[in-house]
Structure 1
Amino acid sequence: MKRSLYFLSTVVFLILWSSCRNDFEFSPNTGNLEFSKDTVYLDTVFTNIGSSTYNLKVYNRGNNDIMIPSIRLALGDASNYRLNVDGIAGKTFENIPILAKDSLFIFVETTIDITNFANLDGKFLYTDQIEFDAGSNLQKVELVTLVQDAVFIYPDRDNTTKVIETLKLDINGDTVETDIQGRELLPEELTFTNEKPYVIYGFAAVPSGETLTIEAGARVHFHSESGLIVSEGASLQVNGDVSSDPELLENEVIFESDRLEPDFANVSGQWGVIWLFDGSINNSINYATIKNATIGILCDGNPNIATEKLKITNSQIYNSSSFGILGRNTSITGENVVINNCGQSAFAGTFGGKYNFTHCTIANYWSGSREFPALLLNNFITDADDTAIVTDLTQANFNNCIIYGNDNPEILLDEIEDDAVVFNFKFTNCLIRFDSRNTNFTGANYDINDPTHYEGTIFNQDPHFKDANKNMLIIGEDSAAINKGLASFATQVPFDILNVNRTSAPDIGAYQHIVFPVED
């Protein structure tokens, strides 16, 4: 018993003694700090838009606990950078400890107003330094940010109520108030040039009776949950052009997110949609790249107009979290269109309509699970009571097209049969991934030997894409699509998406094949 009491009293004494002693005696910093990087690049930011948060790790590799007398921005309070050192925000910090063989995190952000800097041509490099200690122990880490000027389009906010302006749209001749945050474009905003990028917050709407013209080389960036609406009676004209160098995109029009950091370069669902309302007219898109949206293009209504509601040519749509192109009882013509990596279908023609696609590559190599194949066609919608409303699929022609992906099958022809409506479709000289042995896909629509629906079409042979997972859908010398295109369609679309002549020996899809370079 005595021994137990003695042991317990000894333990209590040691605990009390250790709680009273100064465990950590810090030595002065010796200027031998190490850093996870010698320069923190904050990538490109738009003027007056906050950057992402970047981190720097500071290491004490020595055997002694040390005290850093100061950590500060070289420009001090005038700096446009902001620091957070071990959870404390500021621009200057004193007496920062680091234990032996330990480290601390510094987080860096910035917001920069380009108008504060004179004689600039739209962009400039903003720099500063994080300084550690001083004198002979001074160490520095560079901070670098490219700042891009832009044209900002955003709805008004009431200063009192903080309520953000919502759109009023002309629908069926009536002005309808919506809960969509945004505003109509002003007359002076109806031409987007390539002089500065455009950054859109909320939805920018093209007013009825007006045309939004987007010139070659323009860049349009959307904030989260933002997009473009083309109202009833309005038009969209995207006038991109082929680049002098096919590997470059300087003459294309690019629609993407306002997150410019490399980590967001291929993240789907960062913004909303380009929405062509029922009643919008004469919409054309040429040489555009649309990426990282929720839906790349949503096209509604007008299936029976004399010319198609949307003509899209020489364009790419990638990384849509839902659909690349979603048509709803509408009319679309596509030539040299490439779509890939969509959370649902790359192309969906729903509730009937009229669709004609020639020399297109409609692929889906989405990395997660998805409900639908690369290509979906149906002739119905269901109302709130789950009652199906059926209408005509007047045309759905796919000529010299690749329809492929990482699932099988990659076509779904979802028809509700009705003697009063038609369901017309045809695949001519296409390369399709479709296993006809799948018992879930039987019936007349999937009879691949029926020449009224399938003519000259190849099934389940390798298109030999360069790297579909990286949206590189040009085909190589082992592709089953080589020389299998029908010449009459090649005459209709004589150049591929890279402006290579295809008339003498047309390949299926949007690209003529190349020989892939041998990688080291």
Structure 2
Amino acid sequence: MKRLLNVFICFGILILWSSCRNDFEFTPSTGNLEFARDTVYLDTVFNNIGSSTYNLKVYNRSDEDIVIPTIQLERGIASFYRLNVDGGTGNVGTPEEGKFFENVELLANDSLFIFIETTIDIAALPAINNEFLYTDRILFDGGSNQQDVDLVTLVRDAVFIYPDFQGNSTTFENLNFDVDGDGNIDETTLPGRFLTDDELTFTNEKPYVIYGYAAVDEGKTLTMEAGTRVHFHADSGILVTNNATLNINGSVSSDQELLENEVILEGDRLEPIFEDVPGQWGTIYLFNGSVNNTINHATIKNATIGILAEGNDNAPTDKLTITNSQIYNTSSFGILGRATSISAENVVINNSGQSSFAGTVGGKYNFTHCTIANYWNNSFRQFPALLLNDFAQVDESSITTNPLIEANFNNCIVYGNDNPEFILDQQGDNFNFKFTNCLLRFDNDNLEGTTNYIFSDDTYYDSNIFNVDPDFKAPFENLMNIGEDSGANGIGSTLFSTQVPLDLLNTSRAAAPDAGAYESVVFDD
């Protein structure tokens, strides 16, 4: 009986509550919507590459539940924008999908989200200087109640380099070339294609967007002129094969923010949120047998490995000569050398998921007035800023060694947010290195005084300073200039500064030169 009474009471309460509800009685909107912003700026996109998703919040500040008769794009079905209103795309399967919405309900004192994307075909638009400002409006209701929010996107035209497709599929073909030097063509798992002869000179007329690996064939040279901009899609890069060459020929820029003459290589997402995201693309792969590669005044950022150089450690000329360049935000290594030869001057490397510079499996390396730093803070890193070794792991139980012919670091900074910031991992009998007039971070009682870390031995360590703050301007933001309180001030040798008389900003080095790629300055407050 008591249970039955409880049922009747609950039923009565339900009838009473239902009779009082009026929140499903929607009235038409009267033009009093409020918006989080009156203009949505979709950041710069490339022609025919989809944007990120942006959002607009729409508020009903009234005490009445309303229905918005229409939400639509002013350009209609011809618009390059597409909308999603609170999870819906409108008339699915019709030309109006993502363009037109009817009778959108919005509760009292509530809000809804509109999500906005675009993919723009610049061929249909009158571009000026390879750029076009594309606009549209989101219209809410009509007549005297109409309200609107502007949409604005800057679109850039570009030269697109795609691999070929496998037959009629949407899968890119992989590169095939002689990998092991036996004269036979090998299949690889790298998607890409070889550049044609008329693609071997990159200019500053338009940006380049690369899908897969753009490969340089045997006997060919890829040249990048001053001011070139190269953007890589995910898992893309440049591959320089046997007896081929890469020459990046940037020059000094007058504007250090625009870097108008620098050659810049980065990912193809132009939105600010991607500006410093590591690992957006693959690498510049200087394959075993490629020769006489040069990089001058380049910025390489947001790769997995900035530069991967293999082989040629006994060649008469260096495999790679890199000068006046910066490598930032690599998810693995800034420069990874494997049994190779690299000469570097005025080079800055920072923010690498593993090492900023790793000279592995022996080789030959000469760095002068370079800043090899690592202030990575995205995750734990296993290796220091600088790693040298002379071996490769064959399997779990065996290794193969190769001589470290030489590894000279002159007037350099080797520093970071970990300790120690250089490791010399020797397994063979021929391991030659020397640090001269450098600022180094190394404070480890377990290693100091052991083989390769006897800092009093001037055969390997000459006139270095240890564990003194380099006073970088903002290392976590890749501003690696040094201030007047830097431990690198005045510690360099003129023997090396006369070889590299100008710093990375083209400033003359002082009579008592500083270590690293920059001469010290007084920072602005």
Give the Å deviation of 1:503: 4.7
User: Which of these residues, 120, 123, 126, is aligned with residue 118 of structure 1?
Assistant: 126
CA distance in 2, matches of 1:301, 1:488: 30
Q: 1:391: which partner in 2? A: 402
CA distance in 1, matches of 2:259, 2:161: 24
What are the equivalent positions in structure 2 for 1:401-416 lying under 5 Å apart? 401-416=412-427
Q: Which residue identity lines up with residue 45 of structure 2 in the other structure?
A: V
Q: 2:344: which partner in 1? A: 334
CA distance in 1, matches of 2:458, 2:217: 45
- The answer to whether 1:306 aligns with 2:313 is no
Give the Å deviation of 1:501: 0.5
Gaps of 5+ in 1: none
Change (3 A) 1:377 1:157: same
Change (3 A) 1:454 1:94: same
CA distance in 2, matches of 1:328, 1:91: 54
Change (3 A) 1:386 1:126: farther
User: Which of these residues, 228, 234, 255, is aligned with residue 224 of structure 1?
Assistant: 234
User: Which of these residues, 386, 389, 397, is aligned with residue 375 of structure 1?
Assistant: 386
Q: 2:4: which partner in 1? A: 5
- TM-score, length basis structure 2: 0.95
**1:446 aligned counterpart, secondary structure:** coil
- The answer to whether 1:67 aligns with 2:67 is yes
Q: 2:498: which partner in 1? A: 491
**2:395 aligned counterpart, secondary structure:** coil
User: Which of these residues, 238, 246, 260, is aligned with residue 236 of structure 1?
Assistant: 246
**2:176 aligned counterpart, secondary structure:** strand
Give the Å deviation of 1:22: 6.0
CA distance in 2, matches of 1:251, 1:72: 44
- The answer to whether 1:505 aligns with 2:515 is no
Q: Which residue identity lines up with residue 451 of structure 1 in the other structure?
A: D
Q: 1:193: which partner in 2? A: 203
- The answer to whether 1:104 aligns with 2:115 is no
Aligned residues: 513
CA distance in 2, matches of 1:414, 1:348: 11
Q: 2:375: which partner in 1? A: 365
Q: Which residue identity lines up with residue 108 of structure 1 in the other structure?
A: I
- The answer to whether 1:264 aligns with 2:274 is yes
Any idea what the Cα deviations from partners look like across 1:192-212, whole Å, max 9, x if unmatched? 000000000011100010000
CA distance in 1, matches of 2:38, 2:118: 18
Give the stretch that moved more between structures: 399-408 or 116-125: 116-125
CA distance in 1, matches of 2:263, 2:4: 83
- The answer to whether 1:432 aligns with 2:440 is yes
Give the Å deviation of 1:28: 2.0
What are the equivalent positions in structure 2 for 1:454-465 lying under 5 Å apart? 454-465=461-472
Give the Å deviation of 1:139: 1.2
**2:70 aligned counterpart, secondary structure:** strand
Q: 2:262: which partner in 1? A: 252
Aligned residues of 1:491 and 1:503 also touching (Cα < 8 A): no
What are the equivalent positions in structure 2 for 1:113-192 lying under 5 Å apart? 113-118=121-126, 120-158=128-166, 160-171=168-179, 172=181, 173-192=183-202
Aligned residues of 1:231 and 1:276 also touching (Cα < 8 A): yes
Give the Å deviation of 1:119: 5.4
Aligned residues of 2:332 and 2:354 also touching (Cα < 8 A): yes
CA distance in 2, matches of 1:119, 1:229: 32
Residue identity (%): 62
Over the residues paired in the alignment, what is the CA RMSD in angstroms? 1.5
CA distance in 2, matches of 1:436, 1:63: 67
CA distance in 2, matches of 1:119, 1:471: 34
Aligned residues of 1:73 and 1:79 also touching (Cα < 8 A): yes
Give the stretch that moved more between structures: 354-363 or 85-94: 85-94
Give the Å deviation of 1:118: 2.9
Give the Å deviation of 1:30: 2.1
- The answer to whether 1:466 aligns with 2:473 is yes
Q: Which residue identity lines up with residue 494 of structure 1 in the other structure?
A: P
Q: Which residue identity lines up with residue 249 of structure 2 in the other structure?
A: N
Give the Å deviation of 1:460: 0.2
Give the Å deviation of 1:515: 0.5
Q: 1:32: which partner in 2? A: 32
- The answer to whether 1:480 aligns with 2:480 is no
Give the stretch that moved more between structures: 156-165 or 44-53: 156-165
Q: 1:215: which partner in 2? A: 225
Give the Å deviation of 1:34: 1.4
- TM-score, length basis structure 1: 0.96
Any idea what the Cα deviations from partners look like across 1:117-153, whole Å, max 9, x if unmatched? 1353211100001111122221111100000000000
**1:5 aligned counterpart, secondary structure:** helix
**1:88 aligned counterpart, secondary structure:** coil
Any idea what the Cα deviations from partners look like across 1:42-75, whole Å, max 9, x if unmatched? 1111101111111111111222111111111011
- The answer to whether 1:292 aligns with 2:302 is yes
Q: 1:42: which partner in 2? A: 42
**1:11 aligned counterpart, secondary structure:** helix
CA distance in 2, matches of 1:256, 1:17: 65
User: Which of these residues, 485, 509, 516, is aligned with residue 523 of structure 2?
Assistant: 516
Give the stretch that moved more between structures: 155-164 or 70-79: 155-164
Aligned residues of 1:436 and 1:446 also touching (Cα < 8 A): no
CA distance in 2, matches of 1:107, 1:97: 16
Any idea what the Cα deviations from partners look like across 1:7-37, whole Å, max 9, x if unmatched? 3212134446767966411122121211122
Aligned residues of 1:354 and 1:396 also touching (Cα < 8 A): yes
Give the Å deviation of 1:340: 0.3
CA distance in 1, matches of 2:169, 2:523: 59
- The answer to whether 1:282 aligns with 2:292 is yes
Aligned residues of 2:447 and 2:453 also touching (Cα < 8 A): no
User: Which of these residues, 318, 325, 333, is aligned with residue 335 of structure 2?
Assistant: 325
Change (3 A) 1:160 1:457: same
Q: Which residue identity lines up with residue 64 of structure 1 in the other structure?
A: E
Aligned residues of 2:51 and 2:118 also touching (Cα < 8 A): yes
CA distance in 1, matches of 2:16, 2:218: 81
CA distance in 2, matches of 1:336, 1:298: 19
Aligned residues of 1:168 and 1:176 also touching (Cα < 8 A): yes
Give the Å deviation of 1:39: 1.0
CA distance in 1, matches of 2:157, 2:351: 31
Aligned residues of 2:389 and 2:425 also touching (Cα < 8 A): yes
